[in-house]
Amino acid sequence: MLQLAVKALLSGIIIAVVSEVAKRQPAFGALIASLPLISVMGMIWLWLAKPDTANMAAHAQATFWYVLPSLPMFLLIPVLLRHGWSFWAALLAGCALTVCLYLGMTAIGPRFGLRL
């Protein structure tokens, strides 16, 4: 239980730091948010729980392939905001696009040899 609390606290601290930095310097906040800190922490927690190289390699590779469909969201949201969409509508559209692209990745990926 303590390990779960530490994980949650660390993740919360990162999110808080990103949001506070982004208030003052949006680009620097974005840089921090773009760092794969959560992925790295997830790999560390996974390794500590199950130190298996094949499992870790599969996890890291799947993470790469799942990051790709999430990237267009970060292009769509600013376009929609600049065209007068509300923040919540733009965020919802970006998330919907990401979900659709995730579904596409899991449907099409195996045809190209991706094991997700």
In a domain, 15, yes or no: no
Other residues' Cβ atoms within 10 Å of the Cβ of residue 76: 19
Backbone angles phi, psi at 52, to 5 degrees: -125, 115
In a domain, 106, yes or no: yes
How high is the pLDDT of residue 7?
81
Let me know: does 43 contact 62? Beta carbons within 8 Å: no
pTM: 0.77
In a domain, 26, yes or no: no
Amino acid at 37: L
In a domain, 91, yes or no: yes
How high is the pLDDT of residue 4?
86
In a domain, 116, yes or no: yes
41 versus 91: the higher-pLDDT residue is: 91
Secondary-structure breakdown of the chain: helix, strand, coil percentages, each rounded to the nearest 5:
85, 0, 15
In a domain, 2, yes or no: no
In a domain, 21, yes or no: no
In a domain, 108, yes or no: yes
Helix (H, G, I), strand (E, B) or coil at 50: coil
- Residue-wise pLDDT for 42-91, tens only, equals 899 899 999 999 999 999 999 999 999 999 999 999 999 999 999 999 99
**Residue-range definition of the domain harbouring residue 70:** 53-116
Count of the separate structural domains present in the chain: 1
